[in-house]
Structure 1
Amino acid sequence: MSLSTTTTVIGAGSYGTALAFCLSRNNYPTFLWGRNSDAVELMQTQRVNHKYLGDFTFPEQLQAVTNLKHAIKQSTYILIVVPSHAFADTVIAIAPMIEAHHQVIWASKGLEPGTGDLLENVAEQHLPEGTPLAVLSGPTFAAEMAAGLPTAITLSSKNAHLNQTFGALLHDSQRFRVYMNNDMTGVQLGGAVKNVIAIGAGLADGLGFGANARTALITRGLVEMKRLGLALGAQSDTFMGMACLGDLVLTCTDNQSRNRRFGLALGQGMSVDAAIESIGQVVEGYRNTDEVHILANKQGIEMPICEQLYAVLYEGKSAKDAALTLLGREQTSE
């Protein structure tokens, strides 16, 4: 086993498992760790994650492990794939294990609960100073990645060496293309805001508003995403790439998206709690809506779609009334 090509993936849900598949299928040693040690031991014994990706057998180079400290010590790359609300706790837990050779990447999509802070800032606050950081984001559904279907993703880091080396581990010319950039702010915001807009797209479809309304939400949602991003110093081009426009279109238009299905349930009359329960997994966009609301208010940025979704999810406004509020806004130009 080569330390320089070994990755520990923290988070054994569907997305963490799928990313572990991508790395190990490229013949790189990969550890997969999850909180439930009994479930992880069963994965290793049966060579399958029955709860999330039961149709796919683990590649030979993938090991499910219960000893996180040991796995991290044997790895160069630490890939965090947990819900964004668990990101800070995860980083705090692994910080004492991080040594000079480690490089930390995350595929969590969201902002810090309560503050709306970028996860990059959370990582910098808790990890050893100078730890190379990167964020992995883009239009990717776990089951399609696990199946080896053609996929493209964005890896963003201010550290060119990390971008190059970890990007090379993930890249597979036959099925998995990695695009690299250095705009971590734009990529992180894309992953958070698109979840909010996807709830809106599902909600509109649940109300029976049709394809015209869905397309308008996607288009104007991208405007809101970019408006917030530019205020925080992101690069304009990022918003037309995989991590922003690409992920936005995917999440708003395909029912593999939990956020879209959550919105559909709301539009069809379910309560917020019942809609979340009906999904059966974490609905990142629910928390992201609050986080984006906090950040937009801090920055003084107008985000009408996100604002109305916040009113539906957190203030009890009806989905129909929120839609009517958006339609009734003063006419403007693009």
Structure 2
Amino acid sequence: MERKESVAVVGAGSWGTAFAAMLSGRHGTVTLWAHETEVCADLRDRRENRAFLPGIVLPEGVRPTNDLAEAVSGKTVVVFAVPSQYLRVVAARTTAHLSPEACLVSLAKGMENGTRKRMTEVLSEASPEHAPRVAALSGPTFAREVAEGMPTGATVAARDLSVARRLQRALSGSRFRLYADDDVTGVEIGGALKNVMAIAAGMADGLGFGHNARALLISRGLAEISRLGVRLGAQPQTFAGLAGMGDLVLTCTGDLSRNRTVGTRVGRGERIGDVLSGMTMVAEGVRTAVSAVELSRRTGVPMPISEQVHGILHEGKDVREAVSELFSRTLKREKE
């Protein structure tokens, strides 16, 4: 007999709202915690998240709340849809209210600046007793398309494959297909670093460089991500899957990509501070570029695209100068 799961989603941004809406079709009732009081009121009274996912009617099975304890108490699966820089604080507040047997799942595609920790590492540190049941869910998933019921696939990974399979059953939907894996490192590295590459692809688009340049960035970006991931202990084949190539292609080409949009605007000459100040939602790749460069230098894995994106976003480097530097690098074999 299949286990009866109860689910809470912590974080009512676009992805958290969309995920809760999708899951309500499977579980009937899903609690959704919103940090912002006005967002919670909007979700409850208008059944719409006008701040982060306008135009999507929230199913009746989604129960919004501004009370974190109320959201997660008694739930067997708690899904964190919180930007990477806030996850540790929110997870620490959540710990005391978690059921002992709960599985914790991260949807965030980023890394913690300063510590360079992956999101499952942050969750495990915040709640050590739940560490054996911590997982990451990642893949090519635009929130709006998930909320609209469009066919979507992703990967859920946990160190214990039986945990991943449990979550695979609990978090799949009628048009949301999950694959189980045990390569947590690969799934998270792919999900985080593709955002940096999406900014680079957007910059190329903003400069008017065409499809050849975008294909070049995707291919060489995947090489960077794979090299670093394998050095950190990931399985190489993970990067050919949904959390690797699949997510990278979507984020580098899709018009709904926040990170690509940031890159496009910077490529057209806007200052990064001006771009970010006008955005409601978080573009994780801006912060992740810092962690990517730190990991590159710590491990000795060359990541030239990430280095240039970091230079443009955080050191004021000119975009065209960065392109010239990339093309003037010493020629080498493709597999190097």
Report the more deviating stretch, 91-100 or 29-38.
Answer: 91-100
Indicate the residue corresponding to 2:147 in structure 1. 146
Alignment-derived partner of residue 208 in structure 1: 208
Q: What secondary structure sits across from 1:234 in the alignment?
A: coil
Contact 1:195 / 1:285 at 8 angstroms: preserved in 2?
A: yes
Aligned match of 2:289: 289
What is the TM-score normalised by the length of structure 1? 0.95
User: TM-score, structure 2 length as denominator?
Assistant: 0.95
SS at match of 1:49: coil
The runs of 5 or more residues in structure 1 that have no matched partner are none
Offset at residue 161 of structure 1 (A): 3.2
1:152–1:242 CA contact under 8 A, matched in 2:
yes
- SS of corresponding position for 1:104: strand
Q: What SS is found at the alignment partner of 2:332?
A: coil
Q: Aligned-residue CA RMSD in angstroms?
A: 1.6
Gaps of 5+ in 2: none
Report the secondary structure of 1:18's partner residue: helix
- After the TM superposition, list the runs of 4 or more consecutive aligned residues in structure 1 that deviate by more than 3 angstroms: none
CA contact (8 A) 2:33 2:64 kept: yes
Q: 5 Å matches for 1:2-13?
A: 4-13=4-13
Counterpart position of 1:316? 316
Matched, 1:192 2:195: no
State how far apart, in whole Å, the 1-side matches of 2:248 and 2:122 are.
24
SS, match of residue 51 in structure 1: coil
Question: Which moves more between the two structures, 76-85 or 155-164?
Answer: 155-164
1:88-107 pair list within 5 angstroms: 88-107=88-107
Do the aligned partners of 2:104 and 2:130 also contact (CA within 8 Å) in 1? no
SS at structure 2 position matched to 1:54 = coil
Deviation at 1:225, TM superposition (A): 0.1
Residues in 2 aligned to 1:115 and 1:125: alpha-carbon distance in whole angstroms: 12
Structure 2 match to 1:328: 328
**Distance change (3 Å), C-alpha of 1:28 and 1:183:** farther
Counterpart of 1:329 in 2: which secondary structure? coil
| Cα displacement (A) at 1:196 | 0.2
CA-to-aligned-CA distance 1:63-104 (integer Å, 9 cap, x gap): 101221122113111100011111111121112222312110
Give distance in 2, aligned partners of 1:258 and 1:186: 22
Out of 318-327 and 86-95, give the one that drifted further. Answer: 86-95
Cα shift readout 1:18-43 (whole Å, capped 9, x = no counterpart): 01011102234210001112321331
Cα pair 1:5 1:29 within 8 Å, conserved:
no
**2:53, 2:125 → 1: CA distance?**
34
Question: How many residues in Structure 1 have an aligned counterpart in Structure 2?
Answer: 332
Question: 1-side partners of 2:130 and 2:205: how far apart?
Answer: 46
Indicate whether 1:78 and 2:96 are aligned: no
The aligned counterpart of 1:158 is: 159
Alignment correspondent of 1:167: 168
Asked if 2 retains the 8 angstrom alpha-carbon contact of 1:22 and 1:170, the reply is no
Per-residue deviation at 1:130? 4.4
130 and 48 in structure 1: CA distance in 2 versus 1, 3 angstrom threshold: closer
Letter of the structure 2 residue corresponding to residue 10 of structure 1: V
The one-letter code of the counterpart of 2:169 is A
Cα distance in 2 between the residues matched to 1:296 and 1:99: 38
Q: Is the 8 A contact 1:10 1:81 kept in 2?
A: yes
Shift of 1:242: 0.3
How far residue 171 of structure 1 moved from its aligned partner, in angstroms, is: 1.8
The 8 Å contact of residues 136 and 158 in structure 2, kept in 1 or not, is answered as yes
Cα gap change, 1:36 to 1:214, in 2 (>3 Å): same
* Cα pair 1:230 1:236 within 8 Å, conserved: yes
Alignment map for 1:1-334 (pairs within 5 Å): 4-131=4-131, 132-172=133-173, 174-334=174-334
Q: For 1:126-149, what per-residue CA distance to the aligned partner results, in whole angstroms no more than 9, with x for missing partners?
A: 213344101011101011000000
Alignment identity in percent? 38
Distance 2:121 2:171 in 1: 25
Which deviates the most, 160-169 or 21-30?
A: 160-169
Contact 1:296 1:302 (C-alpha < 8 Å) held by counterparts: yes
Q: Assess, with a 3 A threshold, how the Cα gap between structure 1 residues 161 and 37 changes in structure 2: closer, same or farther.
A: farther
Matched residue type, 1:203? M
User: Partner of 2:178: helix, strand, or coil?
Assistant: strand
| SS of aligned partner of 1:129 | helix
C-alpha distance in 1, partners of 2:262/2:38?
Answer: 30
Which residue identity is paired with 1:22?
M
Shift of 1:157: 0.9
Contact 2:155 2:178 in 1 (8 A): yes
Distance in 2 (CA, whole Å) between partners of 1:138 and 1:67 is 29
- Match of 1:301, SS? coil
Deviation of 1:6 (Å): 1.3
Of stretches 281-290 and 44-53 in structure 1, the one that deviates more from structure 2 is 44-53
Cα deviation, residue 170, structure 1: 2.4
Change (3 A) 1:61 1:251: same
Q: Which deviates more from structure 2 when the two are superposed, residues 130-139 or residues 36-45?
A: 36-45
Does the Cα contact within 8 Å between 2:135 and 2:157 map onto a contact in 1? yes
- State the alpha-carbon separation in 2 of the partners of residues 266 and 200 from structure 1: 10
